[in-house]
Amino acid sequence: MSDDANLIERFLEMLVAEAGASQHTLAAYRTDLEQASAITGGRLSCADRELVSKLPSHWRKLQNSTVARKSSSLRRYFRFLVEEGFRADDPSDALPRPGSARSLPKTLSHGEIESLFRHVAEGLEREPGKAAISRLSAIMELLYGSGLRASELVTLSRSSIAGDEPFLIIKGKGNKERLVPISQQARSAVRRWMEFVDPMEKWLFPSRTGHISRIRLFQIIKEHAARAGINPAKISPHVLRHAFATHLLEGGADLRALQTLLGHSDISTTQIYTHIDSARLVELVNNRHPLSQLDLAR
């Protein structure tokens, strides 16, 4: 299977798991992406901005609504490739941009995060010897506490946890390794879960056929959200990763630090991926700007 074909399948799998996409929606995405792949000679997934800019010339005879859909399909696909670490840059700014501007990615409030972790803590207290709740605890700590991608989490090996070292060893695209900080609480959660995993097992989160799938990970997260009283439609592994970045930014982290933590090659990706609540910006100016300390009425 070619890189384009393989990555398109992974993208469609994500749409089913995260967005609950219908068969009709999947068929539309598949058609748009496979046609674009054919136009680019099977190089869509690695296409640069110049190659992507040539796609609209093949859409001249199409209705505006169809062009808008194709552009949207490709934008979402390239965003997926960047977010999952399959490429470092997003060339989709070369595509037509009909309609309204792209909305910010979904995130969770501090209160919603507290509800999710409170439900985990209650489960651990109620059934400390149950494997399912220990696995959930480890998953939540790694997704929100370390900002891992779904693909990075499901493919974690047992050897990724180096004793009591305060970091994880993550292998990304091209087998490039990066270090991801892991809190003491997360290490404790992982150690508790490892007691349920066969010492000879390769994967940290195994399944009958290898490691757990992305789809199963999405299911675990959404089931947990429902039990914690949060709308499952609001949450996914990527939403937790985005909450990790957003809350760090709100807490004072700078974009360069976030770039390192998230494993982004380009700072512009981090700028798109993170955002600050506008109300906090207003408060920041009102309370921190030097002029706010001056009484100009005197």
Give the model confidence (pLDDT) of 90-143 as tens digits.
998 888 876 544 555 678 889 999 999 999 999 999 988 899 999 999 999 999
Whether 241 is a known active-site residue: answer yes
Write out the DSSP string of 81-126: HHHTTS-S--GGGGS---SSPPPPPP---HHHHHHHHHHHHHHHHH
Residue 134 inside a domain? The answer is: yes
Looking at residue 168, which CATH number applies to its domain?
1.10.443.10
State the average pLDDT for the chain: 84
Share of the chain above pLDDT 70, in %: 83
Asked whether residue 116 falls in the same domain as residue 250, the answer is yes
In tens, the pLDDT along 19-39 reads 777 888 899 999 999 999 999
Domain interval for residue 232: 110-273
Whether 70 is a known active-site residue: answer no
Whether 29 is a known active-site residue: answer no
Whether 149 is a known active-site residue: answer yes
Asked whether residue 174 falls in the same domain as residue 231, the answer is yes
Across the range 152-174, mean pLDDT stands at 78
Split into its structural domains, the chain has a count of: 2
Mutual angle of helices 131-146 and 237-250, in 10-degree steps: 50
Asked whether residue 251 falls in the same domain as residue 117, the answer is yes
Model pLDDT, residue 100: 44
Asked whether residue 123 falls in the same domain as residue 251, the answer is yes
Residue 278 inside a domain? The answer is: no
Last residue in a domain, options 48, 63, 94 = 94
The residues pairing with 157 across neighbouring beta strands, listed in sequence order, are 203
Q: Is the pLDDT of residue 285 over 80?
A: no
Asked whether residue 114 falls in the same domain as residue 42, the answer is no
The residues pairing with 180 across neighbouring beta strands, listed in sequence order, are 168
Q: Which among 76, 87, 135, 149 is annotated as catalytic?
A: 149
Q: Which among 171, 173, 234, 275 is annotated as catalytic?
A: 173
Asked whether residue 40 falls in the same domain as residue 16, the answer is yes
Q: Is the pLDDT of residue 293 over 70?
A: no
Residue 146 inside a domain? The answer is: yes
Q: Is the pLDDT of residue 2 over 90?
A: no
pTM of the model: 0.65
In tens, the pLDDT along 243-269 reads 888 888 888 777 787 777 777 776 666
Residue 148 inside a domain? The answer is: yes
Whether 77 is a known active-site residue: answer no
CB 232 within 8 A of CB 225: yes
Whether 238 is a known active-site residue: answer yes
Asked whether residue 89 falls in the same domain as residue 127, the answer is no
Looking at residue 81, which CATH number applies to its domain?
1.10.150.130
Asked whether residue 115 falls in the same domain as residue 84, the answer is no
Q: Which helix (H) or strand (E) holds 169?
A: strand 167-171
